[in-house]
Amino acid sequence: MNISESLEDYLRSVYQIQIEKEFARVKDIVEILQVKTSSVISALKKLSSRGFVEYEKHGYIKLTQAGLLEASLLYEKHNSVVAFLQGVLAIRTSEAELLAHGIEHHLNQRLLTKMEALTKFFSGELELLEKTQRFIGKYEEELQMTLDKQGAGRSYTVKAVKGETETKRRLLGMGILPGTEISVERIAPLGDPIEIKVRGYRLSLRKDEASAIVVETE
């Protein structure tokens, strides 16, 4: 039986609590998910109607056999995603937990298995893991080399155009594409606007637009 992403979070939270205690309480779920009591009660009613939890108003919450099976799968998936984000990508715990909440709902078993395989592989190849993480760190640094952080009187090659869809569309429409050379003609005292020359045309960019243009500085 398919349930919504939100209900999956509630079901996994009940399981997480039940691992440590025999029963869960509404306030326990409120603390874990940082939601309102009314939201928890509403979710529990839906889970109860689907046969996943046993719950009566103001009473304890306990997973049924069907709930235990479904929740254990969700819990294992969540832990696998967090382990990959932390162990392989070196993302700090709090951020990994937050990201996992969004990612886990959209993973199929095949991709999850591949992530688990990589986590297991790198756990036995620490030198290769460190090399991979250094490479990722360097790549992230390169993506921070944006046009708004560069000086005037120099030319730069566009490496990538990122940012919000509308900003990206506007910049691409100006002819600012990967591989294009940009000359920074003048930068206003507060860094906004930035006057550039691209493809023989002089243009004026806002600072937020310039921050979406990743450039090569060498």
Res 58: pLDDT: 74
Backbone angles phi, psi at 160, to 5 degrees: -160, 155
Same domain (yes/no): 15, 50: yes
Same domain (yes/no): 59, 97: yes
Nearest-angstrom CA–CA distance, 155 and 169: 23
Q: pLDDT under 70 in the chain at which residues?
A: 1, 217-218
**Burial class (CB within 10 angstroms; exposed 0-12, middle 13-18, buried 19+) of 48:** middle
Long-range contacts of 38-41 (CB under 8 A, 24+ apart): 40/10
> In which domain, by residue range, is 37 found?
1-140
Number of domains in the chain: 2
**Buried/exposed 137-165: b ≥16 CB within 10 Å, e otherwise:** eeeeeeeebbbbebeeeeebebbebebee
Same domain (yes/no): 132, 151: no
Res 55: pLDDT: 86
Asked whether 80 and 119 are in contact (CB, 8 A), the reply is yes
Same domain (yes/no): 42, 115: yes
Nearest-angstrom CA–CA distance, 190 and 182: 20
CATH of the domain at 70: 1.10.10.10
Q: How far is the CA of 97 from the CAs of 80, 89, 101, 134, 143, in angstroms?
A: 11, 13, 7, 22, 24
Res 67: pLDDT: 92
Same domain (yes/no): 26, 126: yes
Task: Look up the pTM and report it.
Answer: 0.70
Same domain (yes/no): 38, 126: yes
End-of-domain residue from the set 115, 140, 165: 140
Res 116: pLDDT: 95
End-of-domain residue from the set 84, 105, 140: 140
Asked whether 99 and 85 are in contact (CB, 8 A), the reply is yes
Same domain (yes/no): 31, 87: yes
Same domain (yes/no): 46, 133: yes
End-of-domain residue from the set 74, 106, 140: 140
Same domain (yes/no): 168, 66: no
Same domain (yes/no): 13, 87: yes
Same domain (yes/no): 20, 110: yes
Same domain (yes/no): 126, 181: no
pLDDT tens string 121-155? 999 999 999 999 999 998 888 778 888 888 888 88
CATH of the domain at 193: 2.30.30.90
Nearest-angstrom CA–CA distance, 45 and 49: 6
Res 20: pLDDT: 86
